[in-house]
Chain A
Amino acid sequence: MSSRFLLYLLKRFGMAIFTIFLVIALTFFIMHAIPASPFSAEKALNDATIRALEAKYGFDKPVIVQFFNYLGNLFHLDFGLSTAWVGKTVSELIGDAFGYSATIGLSAAIIALTLGVVLGAFAALTRGRWPDKIIQVVTTALVSMPSFVVATLFLLIFALRLRWFPTMGSQPGGLVLPIISLSLYPMAYTTRLERSAMLDVLGQDYVRTARAKGLPRPKIIYKHALKNALGPVVTYAGPMMAYILTGSMVVENIFAVPGLGRLFVNSMMRTDYMMIMGVTIFLATLIISLNLLSDILYKLLDPRIDLR
């Protein structure tokens, strides 16, 4: 890898860090723009107790100071203390919940990407014939269905009516339905992207050259066409992860999975400010890093991309 590439890496990395910083600042200042104190929701406490708690948590200092304190703590991965689940730190709670979300998210992503590429390429290769037509119809339908609809339908049909799977995520086998329902939209989208990219590549001059050289068809497809057709899919992988992460919120809600999404929603209902900030920043950082990863992967795939 050339020095130009390293420069590119540094630049992208820098931008990602900057964006994360922006998100932290945004989140922090939005939350602190609220006139109410984080403890005002706890009706059982009287004013004096509230003020004592605020001092303890450091909420009485000026906002800018609080911000830099917070920033400093973040470096130690200290997201602060939760006010709704007294006694537990935000990082602890995130850590516990992340396991479930990561399993669901990662599995859904892998299914979506691999099946998507395979089906998309298959559709492109059988263009016009019935496998392609079926794939097109099905993916068009799936891409028009929001994840919560699919998830609720799955809950109804497969868990409640047919009783093939448990209704709750924490039960054994309970992650299957959440994973499948979360993966359907990205899989359909990836399939369409891949089909379009593959058709595009198949019409390119260098594929014609490969044919003219006398290469057998499978080799042309796997070696020459596929590598070029993966570009748009890799680019989509970033936004796809964003979709999966936010989508997992709703899926966890429906299937009662004790994951990050449910944590987030609960902290919202109980106005646990530290929690809300912590989860938001965590999720946003995850999304931004994954976007960065997919950009770098794309550059690795295609040596031509302008390094400006």
Chain B
Amino acid sequence: MENILEVKGLKTSFYTPSGVVPAVGGVSFQLKKGSVLGIVGESGSGKSVTAYSILQILTPPGRIDSGSVKFNGQELVGLSEKEMRKIRGNKISIIFQDPMTSLNPVFTIGNQLIETILLHTSRTKVEAHKRALEMLSMVGINDPERRMHQYPYELSGGMRQRVMIAMALVCEPEILIADEPTTALDVTIQAQILELMTELQHRLGMAIILITHDLGVVAGMCDEVIVMYAGHLVERGAASQIFYQPKHEYTKGLMRSIPRIEKDEKERLIPISGTPVDMLLLPKGCAFAPRCERAMKICLEEKPQEYWINGYNHLASCWRNVKEGTLAPEVPGKRPMIQLKEESV
């Protein structure tokens, strides 16, 4: 299966009056056609900024410093604004976290939907209106004709998010980026929205990048998962690998803090200690080390590389793997691989 999106060494920083914030410090990953990739991390880890960098909708003082983003082989970094606009909302769409503030409050739903349709297709206003109605039905909004004339504040949170999805999918994009799509919604509505997204994904055959801090969401939907911390990619692999065989201490910490039904209720939930890192004062070693229970002195001194673990589909950057495993023979063009003796969590 080919890669529809290839991100290599993406570096994005914010040049603020208080200092330079390296929001994304060199991230690389691939997105396969039609698959669902989850990007997991706490607030400030750089996951949203990564997404915005792909579409180049960063707000100043943010800027892409270096790196490459290839969409179907075409390099997006450095592309003119005019060319980027043809891609946005058309080939790659994004939906945001808070549908209340993401929809313009002074225009009707219909107005905003039709605007997108007219922008990227050559339909007439009447055709666009019809298409908008189609889209609203597709996302499960009943009585679409009435809804078209309503304002965002007249709809519930779940419905608003459906409208956002409709707006994003109106041109049948190849990639849908969903930035925390369910965080602002009730739990029951969350499930509905995720179901909707899965159904639409199958129907339209598009790839999804799902950004979230909710591991439950990731477990349900994602084929592959990236874990980010302090702007760096700390672990990457198939969903099952991340959940059952995490190889980075941060990921392990995340897994330990999820309550699980099958576990003994007397077992404690172990949260990750410490406070999130201040991006203006990044330590020189591993960014997670100060909070890591199993940190070693080297973790504080030097940043670990990204190592493949037992094969070329699971990546982690943690010194503990170096300590607990052996280095595999070098393969030119690929990152170093660690062979771990046993599967330990």
Answer yes or no: do A and B interact. yes
Option from A205, A212, A228, A303 in Cβ contact (under 8 Å) with B55? A212
Which residues in A have their C-beta under 8 angstroms from that of B153? 303-304
How far is it, in angstroms, between the C-alpha of A228 and the C-alpha of B103 when the chains are bound? 12
Most buried by A among B55, B88, B96, B104: B104
Which single residue of chain B is at the shortest CB-CB distance from A230?
A: B106
Contacts of B142 in A (CB 8 A): none
A204 and B98 CA atoms in complex are apart in Å by 11
A212: chain B residues at CB < 8 Å are: 55, 57, 88-89, 93-94, 96
- The tally of residues in A whose CB lies under 8 Å from a CB in B reads 20
User: Is B116 within 8 A of A304, CB to CB?
Assistant: no
A213 within 8 A of B: yes
Report A-chain residues with C-beta under 8 Å of the C-beta of B145: none
The residues in B between 90 and 108 inclusive whose CB is less than 8 angstroms from any CB of A are: 90, 93-94, 96, 98, 101-107
- Tell me whether B102 and A206 are in contact (CB under 8 A): yes
Question: Quick check: is B59 within 8 A (CB to CB) of the other chain?
Answer: yes
Report chain A residues within 8 Å CB of B119.
Answer: 213-215
Is there an interface contact between A303 and B103, defined as CB atoms closer than 8 Å? no
A211 to nearest B CB, angstroms? 5
| Interface membership of A11, Cβ < 8 A | no
The reply to whether B106 and A214 form a contact with Cβ atoms under 8 Å apart is: no
CA distance A227 to B105 in the complex (A): 10
Q: How far is the CB of B102 from chain A (nearest CB, A)?
A: 4
B87 is an interface residue with CB less than 8 A from chain A: yes
Whether A87 sits at the interface, judged by CB under 8 Å, is no
Which residues does chain B contribute within 8 Å of A224, judged by CB atoms? 104, 107
- A293 to B289: give the CA distance in the assembly, Å: 62
B90: chain A residues at CB < 8 Å are 214
Restricting to B48-102, which residues have a CB under 8 Å from any CB of A? 55, 57, 59, 84-90, 93-94, 96, 98, 101-102
Interface check A302, CB cutoff 8 A: yes
B85 touching A301, Cβ below 8 Å: no
- Given A203-B59, A215-B85, do A209 and B96 touch, yes or no (CB 8 Å)? yes
Q: Are B89 and A228 in contact (CB under 8 A)?
A: no
Q: Which of the listed residues A212, A228, A302 has the most CB atoms from chain B within 10 Å of its own CB?
A: A212
Bound Cα distance A203, B59 (Å): 8
A216 CB–B CB distance under 8 Å: yes
Flag whether B167 is at the interface (Cβ < 8 A).
yes
* Chain A CB within 8 A of B120 CB: yes
Cβ of A211 and Cβ of B57 under 8 Å apart?
yes
> Within 8 Å of chain B (Cβ to Cβ): is A210?
yes
Q: Which of B86, B98, B106 sits near A301, CB closer than 8 Å?
A: B106
Cross-chain contact A303 with B106 (CB below 8 angstroms): yes
Chain B proximity mask over A192-229: 1 for CB below 8 Å, otherwise 0: 00000000000111101111111110000000100110
- Specify the chain A residue showing the minimal Cβ separation from B98: A205
The answer to whether A209 touches B103, judged by C-beta atoms less than 8 angstroms apart, is yes
Chain A neighbourhood of B107, CB < 8 A: 224, 227
Nearest neighbor of B154 in chain A, beta-carbon distance: A303
Q: Which residues of B contact A227 (CB under 8 A)?
A: 106-107
Q: A205 contacts which chain B residues (CB < 8 A)?
A: 96, 98, 101-102
Name B150's closest neighbour in chain A (CB-CB).
A303
Interface residues of B in 244-267 (CB under 8 A from A): none
Considering the complex, give the chain A residue whose CB is closest to the CB of B81. A217
CA distance A211 to B93 in the complex (A): 11
* Complex CA distance for A204 and B104, rounded to whole angstroms: 9
Contacts of B106 in A (CB 8 A): 227-228, 301-304
Chain A residues with Cβ below 8 Å from B29 are none
Task: Kindly provide the distance from the CB of B100 to the nearest chain A CB, expressed in whole angstroms.
Answer: 8
Q: How far is the CA of A202 from the CA of B24 in the complex (A)?
A: 24
**B-contact 0/1 string along A89-123, CB 8 Å cutoff:** 00000000000000000000000000000000000
* Cβ-neighbour of B86 out of A208, A210, A214 (below 8 A): A214
Cβ contacts under 8 Å, B115 to chain A: 213, 215
Interchain Cβ contacts under 8 Å between A and B, 22 examples: A205-B98, A205-B102, A206-B101, A206-B102, A206-B104, A206-B105, A209-B102, A209-B164, A211-B88, A212-B88, A212-B94, A213-B116, A214-B86, A214-B88, A214-B89, A214-B119, A214-B120, A215-B85, A228-B106, A302-B106, A303-B153, A304-B105
Residues of B within 8 A of A (CB): 55, 57, 59, 84-90, 93-94, 96, 98, 101-107, 115-116, 119-120, 151, 153, 164, 167
Interface residues of A (CB under 8 A from B): 203-206, 208-216, 224, 227-228, 301-304
